[in-house]
Structure 1
Amino acid sequence: MTTRTFPFSTLINKQTSVFPALEDADVILERRDAENLVLMRSERFNAMADGLRLASRSLSIIARANRSMAEEVFAEELPWLTWLPAEARFECVSELLNHLLAGAETGLFLPFARALREWTSTAEIYSDPELARRLRGPFDTSDSIEVGGPGE
């Protein structure tokens, strides 16, 4: 699917430029002071959601039947999994699959996107053995000061 991009102001001032583009493309509305918006026809949105739901359910079924195959599939698509320790790979795959399946059922994919970013960052830390060692501690707390809890 192709996308077309318009400034948000075009939607406000010249709708006749934006709406015809929806016939053969999804539209990204760029905003200066906020996150961009996406406009798409409901038929395309529903088809995408149905496809994602089917794919995530199918992958989840495969994962329950054969975890090593699911990890292999994820590793193919997410090569940074190799940087995680072996025991963390299973946890990562399981968590991502669970978030993906929940997102397919509810339409809420932000938890999946957040978990994907977090696991990617964790893998990047493990890719640098010196950084991973430093973050595991011990930490020099000689210059630290004690901070009270909220309201103290």
Structure 2
Amino acid sequence: MTTTLPLSRLVQHPTEVATLVAEQDIVLDRRNAEDLYLSTVERHEQESQGLRITTSALAALARVRPDLAGDALSETLPWMVWLPVDEKTACLQELLDNLRAGAETSQLRPFFLNLAAWRSTAITWSDPDLAAMLLAGHDGDGMSEEDSLVAQPAT
């Protein structure tokens, strides 16, 4: 359970907030900035351990039964159905690698960046015309190679 309090409550009543955070996580609402999150180290470590265990279990499943792990991930990330089979396998591996590293280091930003990139890729694959254009390659923009070169700036 999480309780939301104004940041001023922490400033005005620090003992009360410290007592409350011992029992539950707190979101400190700030007016002109991103909210802050207060928790105990014990709860944070429990969540981190849960993430590591879950990630390791899914990675082990992916090694033995990549099809089953892919299906499990597709249940959570429905947009994965738009990916071709080989892309789905690459997506699964990259997401798991990033998630395992993030779970171990508490640095999940690379995982979320990778997740957003794969979601964009899946959305592209969902449009058959766009996917066909990308697979066909392109001839450039009609300019010759010589015309497309940019002159080196004068010093």
Q: TM-score per shorter chain, which class?
A: 0.7 to 0.9
State the one-letter code of the partner of 1:65: V
Q: 1:73 aligned to 2:77?
A: no
2:138 counterpart SS class: coil
Query: CA distance change for structure 1 residues 73 and 17 in 2, over 3 Å: closer, same or farther?
Result: same
1:35 counterpart SS class: coil
Percent of paired sites with the same residue: 38
Shift of 1:18: 3.0
Structure 1 unmatched ranges of 5 or more: none
Conserved? CA contact 2:26–2:37, under 8 Å: yes
1:82 counterpart SS class: helix
Counterparts of 1:30-49 in structure 2, within 5 Å, are 30-49=29-48
Cα distance in 2 between the residues matched to 1:33 and 1:108: 25
Matched positions, count: 151
TM-score (norm 2): 0.79
Structure 2 unmatched ranges of 5 or more: none
Query: CA distance change for structure 1 residues 146 and 25 in 2, over 3 Å: closer, same or farther?
Result: farther
Conserved? CA contact 1:52–1:104, under 8 Å: yes
Aligned to 1:22: 21
Aligned to 2:88: 89
Cα distance in 2 between the residues matched to 1:138 and 1:97: 33
When Rg is computed on C-alpha atoms for both structures, the one with the higher figure is: 2
Cα distance in 1 between the residues matched to 2:30 and 2:148: 43
CA RMSD of aligned residues (A): 3.0
Aligned to 2:119: 120
Query: CA distance change for structure 1 residues 4 and 87 in 2, over 3 Å: closer, same or farther?
Result: same
TM-score (norm 1): 0.80
State the one-letter code of the partner of 1:37: L
Query: CA distance change for structure 1 residues 11 and 72 in 2, over 3 Å: closer, same or farther?
Result: same
